[in-house]
Structures are given as C-alpha cells and as structure tokens.
Structure 1
Amino acid sequence: MNVLAFDIETVPDLAGGRVVYGLEGLEDTDVSRAMAARRRQETGSEFPRLHLHRVVAISLAGLVEGRFRVWSLGDPEDGESALLERFFEGLDRYIPNLVSWNGNGFDIPVLHHRALINGVSAPRYWETGDHDRAFRFNNYLNRYHDRHLDLMDVLSSFQMRGAAPLDEVATLCGLPGKMGMSGAAVADAVARGEIEAVRDYCETDVLNTYLLYLRFQHFRGALDQTDYQNETDRVAAALEATDRTHLRNFLEAWRGA
C-alpha cells in the first residue's frame, strides 16, 4: 500500500486580491497591506481566506511501491498550476492513502479552491464509488475514512477544542518538530527568492507528520512493536543515505531528541 504524508506552503494570492477587493493598479506591497488590513478588520487576524492562498510548495513523505521517499513536487520555479496538476496526477497514478496534520482544516480546502481556480482535473480524487466500488466506503472526501487521514482531526476526536499544533505534538513524541522556519515566515522567504528553503522546511514538516503517523499506527494496533521499529528504521536509513543537508539535519535532531 502506498502511504504519503503531505503538506503545502502558501502565500497570499495578490493577483486574486486585486480582483476580489478592487485593488487593480496598486503595487504588490500595497495590495498585500490592503488585504491584511481587510482581514484584520474582519477577524482580528491577517491570515487570508483559504481561497486567497496561492500554493508555492507541496511536499510528501512516505512509501511509494515499497520505497520510502521524501520530496517536493515539481521544480522550484514551477507555478501553482503545475504543482497542483502533479499532486492530483500522482493520486490518479498511485492511489495512495494520504496523511496530513490539519489537512481538513487548511490544506485540503486550499487545494480544492486553487485547483478549481487553475482548471485542474482530478477524477480519481473525487471518486466516491460511482465508477470504482472500492471508493464507496473509503474515499478521499469522507472525513471519517482512512484514504485521507487527518491525524490532528482524529486525535482531537474531531473537535477543535482538542486540536494541537504539529510542532508541539512532534516534539513531545521525541521528534524534531519545526525546523528552519515557520509558516508565518514563508511569504517573506518567497519574496526574497528563497523558495528552496521553503521546500526544505515543508519536507521536514511532512517527515514529522509521517513519523507521527507510524506512531499512531502502533497506537491503534496496526503495527506491533517490531513492525513499528522496522518502519522507523526504514525512514532513518533513507535519511542516512541522502546527501541533502536539511534531511541530514532532521536525522541528527531526531537522534538527539
């Protein structure tokens, strides 16, 4: 079975903000400030509405055809449409079980809106059993199915008052947690042209998520102690074999924790 933890990084959609808020003719900096001010008035927070997030990175970690991998989709210079197409094409090809942390609260609705805006087609993702009976009782869309497992959602018993940050839970479980930056720093990093650093940060997030998924599988009895150790060893071996600095740093922090 293919299993992939996924995470996205986004920045405010300034082009969309110009259209939605009638800000045509303004420079990017002024559009950004106007969008932030509008949201601050509405909610007290500058966090954009989900449909006004532009996807700049999608990272994955997990098993594909029996091999553990961690990577970011596409090339650093790829635009949002290309990233979205690669994500949904991968679902069509490999039909993985997806794992996320707060995916139902953020990543998935952002992907829905942005794929719609970019004209992406994703028939396998939207399958609910009309063409493939295997999806009738286990599909990507049902909150309580395993084909997409939102770990934060499940562990909180589907109640927001029980929600917890990935960084804190990962750290408490002996994992490195956040490394390199935080989500709040992504927009500034992208503006400076540091998209590689954003992709690296996103990859460490999905590593935390995948390792928490293995721990959850042990918790619910899907992996016994030996299987759990074998799967975590598989991840460590893959990180040991890489020459990518941020992944080696993750391994060292993991071992240190």
Structure 2
Amino acid sequence: MRLPVLVFDIETLTDLKSGAHLYGLDLPEPDLDQALTKLRRQESGTDFQRLPLHEIVCISGLWIDEKGTMKLFSFSQEQYSEAEILQKFLSIFDKRNPTLVSWNGSQFDLPVILYRAMYHGLSAPSLFDQGEIDTQKRYNNYQNRYHHRHIDLMDWMAMFNGRNFQKLDDIAHLLGYPGKRGKAGYLIPEYVRNQQWLEMTSYCEADVLNTWLVYLRFLLLKGQILPEDHRLWIQATIHYLQGQPQQTEFLQVWQTCCKHTDFTSSDFSQPPQQH
C-alpha cells in the first residue's frame, strides 16, 4: 500500500442561488427548489442536479499516514462556509501527495470539487495539475482514471466499464461491512435544514469507512497487501474506531454484518491490534 492514503467523500445540496441565476428564476426558496427539480427532470429524466449546481456541505476523510496512524475528520457547514471547506480540503494536497481513494470520485466528487472551487475562485494546482507544473504528474495524476494516484474503486472494480458500476452500499454489504445502514443521501437536506450536523457527518464518515474497508479488500485481491497485513489493518481500524464515539453505531453494525461471510466472521473475535 502506498502511504499516505486519503479516503474521502462529499455531501451536497442543490445550490439554489446559482440555479436561479442559471435558469433566470425569481421565486421563493421552497418554490425554487421544486422548479429546479422539475427543470432537471425535463432535461434528463432524473432529479439528480447538474454537477456545478451541487453545493458542498460536508467533506469527510480518513487519513492514514506513513506509520499507519489513522485520523477520521469532517469539514462541514456547521463551522465553515463552502469556500472554507474546500480550502481546508485542498490545502492537504499543497503539503502532501496522498493516494486518493473514493467511490465514484472521478465521476462525482472530484468534478464537483473542481466546479465549486472555480466558483469560489480557488486554486488547487497540486490536485488538478496534469504535468503542466510538475512534469512527473504527466504520467501519474489525480485525474487520469488509469493512473494510481487516485483510485476510484467503483470505476476500477467495474473494470472501467460503466455497465458494471455498483453501489457502495451493496458491495459493502456483500463483503460483510455495514454499508449505509438504511440511511440514504436524500436525508442530507433534512439534516442541514434541522442543523443535525452530527448525523450528517456520521453519515458521510460512514461512507468513507466503508470505502476504506472495500479498498483493503481490493488491495488484498491485487496482492498489494498480504492476508496477514489485511488482518492487521482490519484490527487497527476496529481499534481506532473504538475510540471514536461518533462511530459507535458503525462498529455495532459491522460486528453483526461481519458474521454474514466466512471471510469476515472473525473480524471481532481477535483482540484489536495497531498496525
């Protein structure tokens, strides 16, 4: 495994102000939201908004440093504006060049980050440079789907064929991990409206943790870590999460889900160890 690793996920809302500007609408907020949804259905047959109209309300990540030390974090609009969330996330790449890991990050998370960073007039050369500044990134950058600096697990596991794309929730469940635990992204507007920031960050962090666990299994498949290394990483993850009260439910569900497959059935039967 190439360390450091940064597993990340974003949560978004429709940017009503930008949507009103784009479509020339002058409506009260509740009517505006409905109007934008209706227009989007007419355009594409789906409620899923155009990527530039996704306002970022949370970015969560799991950082694993060169020593294997883990740090789970979230930047949300509870404390920061969208521009500040982006600045804090993008500043990571000014100092380090981690292996970036995501689920559908190349088709959603990174393009949204790009559009929203441009909207706020931010600069992020370390993340979006393709060799114009650092010539080494011509051959290994965060945008190219076949490079190794950004591993979009959904894309890689589908063998770069969109017909094979799967949901993180389904794959996590199949592999013996918690998945979304019955929660879904449509709850994000409600969380923000009701200022349920803990629920929102817990949800986003859970996606990050599921992605990390699937990534470990992916590395095992590819022979990039040995079975013993995989076991140690799982135990290190459990040990770390036991000190994270916000993820108590995730651990409890994991302890139940792991019994559904032979491979994961012993995840919690061994004393946790640090990697």
Query: What band does the TM-score fall into relative to the shorter chain?
Result: over 0.9
The separation in 2 between residues aligned to 1:128 and 1:15, in whole angstroms, is 32
Letter in 1 for 2:54: H
8 Å Cα contact 2:7-2:62 kept in structure 1: yes
* Cα deviation digits, residues 136-195 of structure 1 (max 9, x gap): 321111111111100000010111110000000000000000036311111122122223
Partner of 1:116: 118
Deviation at 1:68, TM superposition (A): 0.9
The separation in 1 between residues aligned to 2:94 and 2:124, in whole angstroms, is 7
> Could you tell me which of 80, 83, 104 is aligned with 1:81?
83
Change (3 A) 1:55 1:199: same
Partner of 2:164: 162
Change (3 A) 1:179 1:77: farther
Letter in 2 for 1:239: L
Deviation at 1:75, TM superposition (A): 6.3
8 Å Cα contact 2:57-2:76 kept in structure 1: no
Identity %: 39
The separation in 2 between residues aligned to 1:233 and 1:152, in whole angstroms, is 24
Letter in 1 for 2:83: S
8 Å Cα contact 1:76-1:195 kept in structure 2: yes
Partner of 1:30: 31
Instruction: List alignment gaps of at least 5 residues for structure 2.
Output: 258-275
Partner of 1:215: 217
Deviation at 1:130, TM superposition (A): 3.9
Partner of 1:187: 189
Change (3 A) 1:94 1:238: same
Letter in 2 for 1:210: W
8 Å Cα contact 2:216-2:230 kept in structure 1: yes
Change (3 A) 1:161 1:171: same
- When normalised by structure 2's length, the TM-score is 0.88
3-state SS of 2:136 partner: helix
Partner of 1:252: 252
The separation in 2 between residues aligned to 1:75 and 1:95, in whole angstroms, is 26
Partner of 1:152: 154
8 Å Cα contact 1:4-1:210 kept in structure 2: no
Partner of 2:261: none
The separation in 2 between residues aligned to 1:256 and 1:157, in whole angstroms, is 30
Instruction: List alignment gaps of at least 5 residues for structure 1.
Output: none
The separation in 1 between residues aligned to 2:121 and 2:111, in whole angstroms, is 15
* Cα deviation digits, residues 99-125 of structure 1 (max 9, x gap): 000111111111111111011111111
Partner of 1:63: 64
3-state SS of 1:125 partner: helix
The separation in 2 between residues aligned to 1:223 and 1:65, in whole angstroms, is 15
Change (3 A) 1:254 1:92: same
Change (3 A) 1:127 1:96: same
8 Å Cα contact 1:101-1:152 kept in structure 2: yes
8 Å Cα contact 2:106-2:143 kept in structure 1: no
The separation in 2 between residues aligned to 1:92 and 1:56, in whole angstroms, is 22
* Cα deviation digits, residues 44-100 of structure 1 (max 9, x gap): 211111110100000001403431121102662311100111111011112111000
What's the RMSD between the two structures over aligned residues?
Answer: 1.4
The separation in 2 between residues aligned to 1:165 and 1:207, in whole angstroms, is 15
The separation in 1 between residues aligned to 2:43 and 2:133, in whole angstroms, is 43
The separation in 2 between residues aligned to 1:94 and 1:250, in whole angstroms, is 29
3-state SS of 2:122 partner: coil
- When normalised by structure 1's length, the TM-score is 0.94
The separation in 2 between residues aligned to 1:71 and 1:48, in whole angstroms, is 27
The separation in 2 between residues aligned to 1:20 and 1:129, in whole angstroms, is 33
8 Å Cα contact 1:6-1:206 kept in structure 2: yes
